Chain A
Amino acid sequence: MEEALLRAVLFGTPILLAGLGALLAERSGVVNLGVEGMMALAALTAFAAAQAYGPLPGVLAAFGVGALSGLFLGLFTVTLRANQFVAGLAVAALGLGASGLLGKRYEGLPLAHPLPEGGFALLGAVLALLVHLFLTRTRTGLFLRSAGENPKAVDLFGVSVDGVRYLALGLGGGLIGLAGAYLSLAYRPSWTDGMTAGLGWVAIALVILAAWHPLRALLGAYFFGLLFFLQFRLQGSVPIPSEAFAAMPYLLVILVLALSGRSRAPKALGQPFERGR
C-alpha cells in the first residue's frame, strides 16, 4: 500500500510537471501539442549538461531549453497565427527527431550522480500550488486566464495578448523541461532515444482530465501514476489479461472524462488573436 502510494507520486511527477506546463499554455488560449518532443529535447539537454557540469546545471539547462522550445512554438502559434494543432504536432515530431539525432553519443551511458526522485516530487507538488496561486492571485495570472477566455478584454486593458501567451508558453515550456530533466536525471538516470515513451501525450490528456485546474492536475497525475503501477502489481494475481491492465489507465481517463461532463475548456482555446476581429 505504502509502496503503491509512493509509486503514484514518483511516476505521477513527470506527468504532473509536463501537465502543468501544457495547462499554463492552454489557460492562455494556446494548445500545446508539442509536449512530447519538448520533453525529449529537455531530457537530452539535462543529461548532456549533467554529464558536463553536474546535475543542478542539468536541471536549469532543461528548464531553459523547455522554455525556448515553448517560445519557438509561440513563434508559429502566436506571432504567425498558424494552426495550433499542426504547429504543436510539428514541434513534437521535431523535438523527438532532433533529440534522437543529437543524443546519439549519449546513448547507453550511465549517469554518475543521479538526483533523488523525492526532490522532484516535492518540487512538482510545490509548483502545482504556485501555478494555482499565480493564476488566481496575481495580476499577471489574471491576464493570462483572460487571454484564454476573452483576449479582447486583455487587449482593451492595453496588455499585449501575444506577450501574455508567449509568457505562458515560455513558463509552461520550462515546466515541461523539468519533466524531461526528471526522466533523464532521476527517474531513469540515462538517455535513450524515445525515452519519453508517450508521457507527453498523457500530460496533455491530464490537462483535460483536470479541467484546466492545477491542483486537480496534481491529483490526476498521482491517480495516473497509481494506475500505471497497479497494472503490474495486480498482474497475475487477478484473472485479467495483462493487455487489459495496460489499457486500464486510459480507459479510466475516458470514464472520468465522461462522468465529469461539466469541465469546460478556456473559451478562446485554439484561436489565434487578431486585433479588431
Chain B
Amino acid sequence: MRRLVLGVLAALGLALGQGDKLKACFIYVGPVGDAGWTYAHDVGRKKAEAALPWLETRYVESVPEAQVVPVIDRFVREGCRVIFATSFGYMDGVLEAAKKYPDVIFAHATGIKRAPNVATYMADFYQVYYLNGLAAGALTKTGKVGYVAAFPIPEVKRHINAFALGVRAVRPDAQVLVRWINAWYDPAKAREATEALLAQGADVFAFTEDTPTVIQTAARKGAYSFGHYTPMLKFAPDHVVSGQIVHWEVIYIDFLKKVKEGVYTPKNLENVDYFWLLQHGAVEMGTDYGVPINPKHVPLLKAAQMSVEGKKVPVYDRIMSLLGAMKRPNPTFDPFTGPIKDRKGVVRIPAGRKATLNELLTMEWAAPGVVGDWPGEPR
C-alpha cells in the first residue's frame, strides 16, 4: 500500500514536472564554492544544462550523508526524474531510496553497488597522474617529490602509485614522499604537511585533496607543483606545471542524452558503470583548460631526457606521445601495464597485461619509490 501511494505520488510529481523538460537533480556533499570536488560537479551540471536545451537541473549542497534520503524524497516530490548523488557515502541511502522510487533513475558517483535503477560513475585521473609524474621526475633536483594525500583509500593510492611510476620512469632513484592529512578539506593540515615535505627536501609537489594550499605553499619556496581537480594555474602562475582537470559534464551529458533517448530506463542500469578516462574526455591533463603544460616549463621538459626502450627521448615528447596514445578510442598505453612490482618486491600486475578494473578499484599496494606510512599495505 505504502509503495502504491508513493508510486502515485511519484507519478504525480512527474506529471507536475515542467512540460517535456527532463529534470535532473544533484546532491552535493560540500558547498558549491569549495574549488574542489563539489565545485567541479557543479561546473559539470551547468555545462550539461547549457548543452542540453531540454534539460532542467536543481541541486542541494552540503548534504550530510545521513540526510540523503530526505533530500531524495524532496527531489522526487519536485518531479526529478534523474538524481545524481555525488558522494561515496550516499551509497546506502541511494540504494534504499531507489527501492522506494523504482521509476526514478539514480546515478551514484564513485559508487560500487548498482541496482536496476541505480548506475555508478567515476572520472578517474590515474593516467594523468602518471603523465604528471613524468614531468615531476624531470623537474626534481633533489630526487624527492612530495605528495600530500587525503585518505589512504584505493582511489588515492591508485593516484599516488601512477604518479610514482611516472616519476621513476624518468628518474629511477627518485622518492615520492607521501604525507596523509586524513581530511579532504583542511587547509592548515595541507599547509603544514607541505612545509614538512619542503623541510625534508621535496622540491616538486602533487596532491589529492580539495584545496590549492599545496600549490600556494610550494610556490613560496619556488617549488613546482601540479593542480588537482580544477585549473589551479592562477594560484601560482610560475610554478603550476600541469595538473589533473575533471570534466564531469562529459559523463552527465552522455548519461542524460541516453535517458532522454530511452536507452537508459529505471529497469536496465544494473550494469551501467562509467569509469571514464582520457579517451572519453572525462579528464584532462592541464595547467589550465586546453593547456596541457605551462608554456613556461615546456623548455625545461624538452631539455630533460629519459630512457624509453633503450633510446633517449625528451621527457616532453614522451608525455605528449603517451597523452595522445591514451586519448585514442583504443588506448595503446596504460600506466598499470605489467610487469609491475610493489615496493616490497611482490608482483602485483603480471607481465603482458594491464591492470583490470577490479585491480584498479581495490588497489592497496604501494609502488616502488613511495616512501612513508601506508595504512592497509598488504604483507
A188 at the interface (CB under 8 A from B): yes
Which of B51-59, B132-140, B195-203, B297-305 has 4 or more CB atoms under 8 Å from chain A? B195-203
For residue A229, which residues in chain B have a CB less than 8 angstroms away from its CB? 192, 195-196
A107:B34 contact, CB within 8 angstroms? yes
A228:B373 contact, CB within 8 angstroms? no
B234:A232 contact, CB within 8 angstroms? no
A63 at the interface (CB under 8 A from B): no
A4:B199 contact, CB within 8 angstroms? yes
User: How many A residues face the partner with a CB closer than 8 A?
Assistant: 32
From residue A83, how far is it (CB to closest CB) to chain B in Å? 27
A103's closest neighbor in chain B, by CB? B33
A261 at the interface (CB under 8 A from B): no
Interface set, chain B 360-379, CB cutoff 8 A to A:
371-373, 375
Give Cα distance in the complex from A100 to B187, angstroms: 16
A108 at the interface (CB under 8 A from B): yes
Instruction: Choose one: A7, A108, A242; the contact of B192 (CB below 8 Å).
Output: A7
A197 at the interface (CB under 8 A from B): yes
Known: A7-B195, A193-B31. A110 touches B235 (CB 8 A): yes
For residue B230, which residues in chain A have a CB less than 8 angstroms away from its CB? 108
Known: A3-B199, A4-B199, A110-B235. A194 touches B185 (CB 8 A): yes
A190 at the interface (CB under 8 A from B): yes
For residue A189, which residues in chain B have a CB less than 8 angstroms away from its CB? 216
A125 at the interface (CB under 8 A from B): no
A241 at the interface (CB under 8 A from B): yes
A241:B188 contact, CB within 8 angstroms? no
Give Cα distance in the complex from A235 to B197, angstroms: 10
B182:A232 contact, CB within 8 angstroms? no
Give Cα distance in the complex from A3 to B195, angstroms: 8
Give Cα distance in the complex from A246 to B234, angstroms: 31
B180 at the interface (CB under 8 A from A): yes
A48 at the interface (CB under 8 A from B): no
A233:B212 contact, CB within 8 angstroms? no
Known: A193-B34, A236-B179, A236-B371. A187 touches B185 (CB 8 A): no
Give Cα distance in the complex from A110 to B233, angstroms: 10
For residue B375, which residues in chain A have a CB less than 8 angstroms away from its CB? 241-243
For residue B193, which residues in chain A have a CB less than 8 angstroms away from its CB? 232
For residue B157, which residues in chain A have a CB less than 8 angstroms away from its CB? none
B264 at the interface (CB under 8 A from A): no
- Hey, what's the 0/1 contact readout for A9-47 against B, CB within 8 Å counting as 1? 001000000000000000000000000000000000000
From residue B174, how far is it (CB to closest CB) to chain A in Å? 16
Interface set, chain B 143-179, CB cutoff 8 A to A:
152, 177-179
A65 at the interface (CB under 8 A from B): no
A199's closest neighbor in chain B, by CB? B188
Instruction: Choose one: B31, B187, B197, B373; the contact of A197 (CB below 8 Å).
Output: B187
A75 at the interface (CB under 8 A from B): no
Known: A193-B31, A193-B33. A188 touches B196 (CB 8 A): no
B213:A188 contact, CB within 8 angstroms? yes
For residue A193, which residues in chain B have a CB less than 8 angstroms away from its CB? 31, 33-34
- Hey, what's the 0/1 contact readout for B194-220 against A, CB within 8 Å counting as 1? 011111100000000001110010000
Give Cα distance in the complex from A242 to B376, angstroms: 12
A232:B33 contact, CB within 8 angstroms? no
Give Cα distance in the complex from A104 to B373, angstroms: 36
A191's closest neighbor in chain B, by CB? B33
A215 at the interface (CB under 8 A from B): no
B192:A11 contact, CB within 8 angstroms? yes
B6 at the interface (CB under 8 A from A): no
From residue B214, how far is it (CB to closest CB) to chain A in Å? 11
A49 at the interface (CB under 8 A from B): no
For residue A190, which residues in chain B have a CB less than 8 angstroms away from its CB? 212, 216, 235
CB-defined A-B contacts under 8 Å, sample of 15? A11-B188, A103-B33, A107-B34, A108-B33, A192-B34, A192-B187, A199-B188, A232-B181, A232-B193, A236-B177, A236-B178, A241-B373, A242-B375, A243-B375, A246-B182
Binding site for A on B (CB under 8 A): 31-35, 39, 152, 177-182, 185-189, 191-193, 195-200, 211-213, 216, 230, 234-235, 371-373, 375
The 5 closest A-B pairs by CB, nearest first: A107-B33, A236-B372, A232-B196, A108-B35, A3-B199
Known: A108-B33, A193-B34. 11 other contacts (CB 8 A): A7-B192, A110-B216, A188-B187, A190-B216, A197-B187, A229-B195, A232-B196, A232-B197, A235-B196, A242-B179, A246-B182
